[in-house]
């Protein structure tokens, strides 16, 4: 059976100009890269292509220059950081199109690595402008996409170009696609999802898709308040989207129809003020006072969630159970994260986490490394959880 996506295993890169789209949108301070995680993720793809004798031409965006050339959004300092991570020289070309890029590439030997300037210095990049696509495609013989986090956008360097050259997934993209397939594509059942975070309104499509796919949907965070409110409970001053009550009831009814069990918290940690170390108490969700707000799920709910997770084979997690950035409201998220990490390490569970805040929470709980996979891709991960086709990924599909 052929693999669903073309990978580096099927790519002929020796002696070829390989345009490698990577995510180098790293945080910087005074021109220095402060977190190299994104570079580390693509390092093995870069060195593998170079070791196979390809000329590695790195394509990436940086910041939001919106078609303007700005020094603050130049990728130049990032070239040095890439060189440091992979322990090899990395050249830099001050343009990603035209004579400057062409000259830099013409001077490359097999195995050399060059980073081209920010693709978003051209307006047409984000518009998938055919002229930009053509200009980029001219620079290479093969295209490899290792930027899952940018794959939900049909841009010239993430999608358009994939139709002009032989196109393959890099190793980081491949790992991401394999993890996502484990989680929702073809999961070992029963499969559960945790959806937490602030608001129902921002995760409507995600909830709608998940109830069709998972056996158990565990709802936490601020959005659980809206569901509790929809069930007629008083949530006091809690974050709650009262105008979403009908939507929440519809989700619960649809879940029942789809044989997806929904688990809501039964108790909560509440406080009168939302600030670090505010005096807090634990109450059943039926007894939240008018001047209190729910800032975390309570200990009984933690046990209930952990027991439920103990019965499933696969778990996909997006969103914290409480306001985890503000102690003591991190307790439930961290406790459950540790249990998930433990079950995964024991081989009893496959756990995939993703989304900005979730990655931060799992890192802080010290368990990200114990998960089967943690996706650093925010928007792309969410769109994938919503069941949407990601254009940058679709372009790599074996048809
Ligand atoms: P999201 O980006 O939708 O995943 O939301 C994440 C944010 O939700 C985090 O910043 C949490 O602090 C916040 N959050 C989670 N639970 C609550 C809650 N019960 N009340 C207020 N904010 C919450």
Residue from 297, 320, 355 whose mutation best tests the ligand 1 pocket (most atoms within 8 A of CB): 320
pLDDT of residue 80: 96
Look at the block and give the residue holding tokens 């209930």. Answer: 304
Exposed/middle/buried for 379, CB within 10 Å: 0-12, 13-18, 19+? middle
Same structural domain, 202 and 334: yes
- Rounded Cα gap, residues 142 and 278, in angstroms: 57
Last residue of a domain, one of 135, 170, 205: 170
Structure tokens at 82: 């890439």
Distance 328 CA to ligand 1 centre (A): 14
Residue from 195, 199, 222 whose mutation best tests the ligand 1 pocket (most atoms within 8 A of CB): 222
Same structural domain, 227 and 130: no
- Rounded Cα gap, residues 393 and 145, in angstroms: 9
Nearest residue (CA) to ligand 1, atom 5: 197
- Residue 394: strand, helix, or coil: helix
pLDDT of residue 169: 98
* DSSP codes joined into one string, 127-152: HT-HHHHHHHHTT-SEEEE--GGGTT
- Rounded Cα gap, residues 332 and 218, in angstroms: 13
Look at the block and give the residue holding tokens 């078609």. Answer: 67
Instruction: Report which ligand 1 atom has the smallest distance to the Cα of 294.
Output: 19
- Rounded Cα gap, residues 39 and 32, in angstroms: 13
Asked if residue 393 is part of any domain, the answer here is no
Instruction: Please give the radius of gyration of the chain, using alpha carbons only, rounded to the nearest integer.
Output: 23
Same structural domain, 130 and 39: yes
Asked if residue 318 is part of any domain, the answer here is yes
Same structural domain, 158 and 201: no
- Rounded Cα gap, residues 285 and 239, in angstroms: 14
Same structural domain, 226 and 90: no
- On whether the CB atoms of residues 158 and 1 are closer than 8 A, the answer is no
CB 325 less than 6 A from any atom of ligand 1: yes
CB 201 less than 6 A from any atom of ligand 1: no
Same structural domain, 165 and 216: no
Catalytic residue positions? Answer: 38, 199, 356, 379
- On whether the CB atoms of residues 21 and 60 are closer than 8 A, the answer is yes
CB 357 less than 6 A from any atom of ligand 1: yes
CB 204 less than 6 A from any atom of ligand 1: no
Distance 259 CA to ligand 1 centre (A): 27
| Furthest-apart CA atoms within the chain: distance in Å | 72
Asked if residue 364 is part of any domain, the answer here is yes
pLDDT of residue 304: 98
In this structure, how many other beta carbons lie within 10 angstroms of the beta carbon of residue 50? 20
Same structural domain, 345 and 198: yes
Asked if residue 194 is part of any domain, the answer here is yes
Instruction: Report which ligand 1 atom has the smallest distance to the Cα of 221.
Output: 16
Q: Which domain holds residue 193?
A: 187-385
Instruction: Report which ligand 1 atom has the smallest distance to the Cα of 323.
Output: 12
Exposed/middle/buried for 316, CB within 10 Å: 0-12, 13-18, 19+? buried
Same structural domain, 131 and 193: no
Same structural domain, 123 and 214: no
pLDDT along the chain (399 residues), means of 10: 86 98 94 92 98 98 95 96 98 98 98 98 98 98 97 98 98 95 92 95 93 97 97 98 96 97 98 98 98 98 98 97 97 98 98 92 96 93 94 94
Taking the CA of residue 270 as centre, how many other CA atoms within 13 Å lie in the half-sphere pointing to its CB? 25
Asked if residue 2 is part of any domain, the answer here is no
Query: Residue 308 contacts by C-beta under 8 Å, 6 or more apart in sequence?
Result: 192, 216, 218, 263
Look at the block and give the residue holding tokens 């409110």. Answer: 229
- Rounded Cα gap, residues 397 and 5, in angstroms: 4
Taking the CA of residue 13 as centre, how many other CA atoms within 13 Å lie in the half-sphere pointing to its CB? 31
In this structure, how many other beta carbons lie within 10 angstroms of the beta carbon of residue 109? 7
Last residue of a domain, one of 128, 144, 170: 170
Same structural domain, 314 and 238: yes
Characterize 184-211 residue by residue with b for buried, 16 or more Cβ atoms within 10 angstroms of its Cβ, and e for exposed: beebeeebbbbbbbbbbeebbebbbbbb
Distance 203 CA to ligand 1 centre (A): 12
CB 298 less than 6 A from any atom of ligand 1: no
- On whether the CB atoms of residues 8 and 169 are closer than 8 A, the answer is yes
Asked if residue 180 is part of any domain, the answer here is no
- On whether the CB atoms of residues 114 and 104 are closer than 8 A, the answer is yes
Asked if residue 391 is part of any domain, the answer here is no
Asked if residue 325 is part of any domain, the answer here is yes
Nearest residue (CA) to ligand 1, atom 4: 197
Instruction: Report which ligand 1 atom has the smallest distance to the Cα of 224.
Output: 19
Residue from 198, 206, 233 whose mutation best tests the ligand 1 pocket (most atoms within 8 A of CB): 198
Nearest residue (CA) to ligand 1, atom 14: 323
- Cis bond upstream, residue 190 (ω within 30): yes
CB 220 less than 6 A from any atom of ligand 1: no
CB 222 less than 6 A from any atom of ligand 1: yes
Distance 197 CA to ligand 1 centre (A): 4
Q: CATH no. for residue 356?
A: 3.40.50.1260
- Rounded Cα gap, residues 353 and 316, in angstroms: 6
- Rounded Cα gap, residues 158 and 120, in angstroms: 12
Same structural domain, 88 and 213: no
CB 239 less than 6 A from any atom of ligand 1: yes
Last residue of a domain, one of 120, 135, 170: 170
pLDDT of residue 2: 67
Where residue 20 falls (left for φ over 0; alpha for ψ -120 to 50; beta otherwise) is beta
In eight-state DSSP terms, residue 182 is I
Instruction: Report which ligand 1 atom has the smallest distance to the Cα of 220.
Output: 16
For the chain, how many structural domains are there in total? 2
Same structural domain, 72 and 212: no
Taking the CA of residue 330 as centre, how many other CA atoms within 13 Å lie in the half-sphere pointing to its CB? 19
In eight-state DSSP terms, residue 54 is -
pLDDT of residue 3: 82
CB 292 less than 6 A from any atom of ligand 1: no
């Amino acid at each position: 059976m052929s693999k669903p996506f073309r990978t580096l295993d099927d790519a002929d890169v020796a002696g070829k100009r390989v345009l490698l789209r990577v995510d180098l949108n790293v945080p910087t301070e005074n021109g220095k890269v402060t977190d190299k995680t994104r570079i580390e993720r693509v390092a093995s793809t870069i060195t593998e292509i170079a070791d196979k004798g390809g000329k590695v031409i790195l394509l990436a965006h940086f910041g939001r220059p919106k078609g303007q050339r700005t020094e603050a959004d130049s990728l130049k300092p990032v070239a040095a950081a890439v060189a440091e991570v992979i322990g090899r020289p990395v050249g830099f070309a001050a343009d990603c199109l035209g004579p400057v890029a062409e000259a830099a590439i013409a001077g490359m030997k097999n195995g050399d690595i060059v980073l081209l300037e920010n693709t978003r210095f051209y307006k047409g990049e984000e518009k998938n402008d055919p002229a930009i696509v053509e200009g980029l495609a001219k620079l290479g013989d093969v295209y490899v996409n290792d930027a899952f986090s940018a794959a939900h956008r049909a841009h010239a360097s993430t999608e358009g170009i994939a139709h002009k050259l032989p196109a393959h997934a890099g190793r980081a993209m491949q790992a991401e696609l394999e993890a996502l397939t484990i989680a929702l594509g073809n999961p070992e059942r029963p499969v559960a999802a945790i959806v937490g975070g602030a608001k129902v309104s921002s995760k409507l499509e995600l909830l709608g898709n998940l109830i069709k796919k998972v056996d158990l949907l565990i709802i936490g965070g601020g959005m659980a308040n809206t569901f509790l409110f929809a069930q007629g409970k008083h949530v006091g001053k809690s974050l709650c989207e009262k105008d979403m009550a009908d939507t929440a009831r519809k989700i619960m009814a649809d879940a029942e129809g789809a044989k997806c069990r929904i688990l809501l918290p039964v108790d909560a940690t509440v406080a009168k003020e939302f600030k670090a170390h505010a005096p807090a108490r634990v109450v059943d969700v039926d007894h939240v006072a008018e001047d209190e707000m729910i800032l975390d799920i309570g200990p009984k709910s933690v046990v209930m969630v952990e027991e439920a997770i103990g019965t499933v084979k696969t778990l996909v997690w997006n969103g914290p159970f409480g306001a985890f950035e503000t102690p003591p409201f991190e307790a439930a998220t961290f406790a459950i994260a540790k249990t998930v990490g433990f079950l995964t390490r024991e081989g009893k569970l496959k756990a995939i986490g993703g989304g900005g805040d979730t990655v931060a929470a799992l890192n802080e709980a010290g368990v990200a490394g114990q998960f089967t996979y943690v996706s650093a891709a925010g928007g792309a991960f969410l769109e994938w959880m919503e069941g949407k086709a990601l254009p940058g990924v679709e372009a790599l599909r074996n048809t």
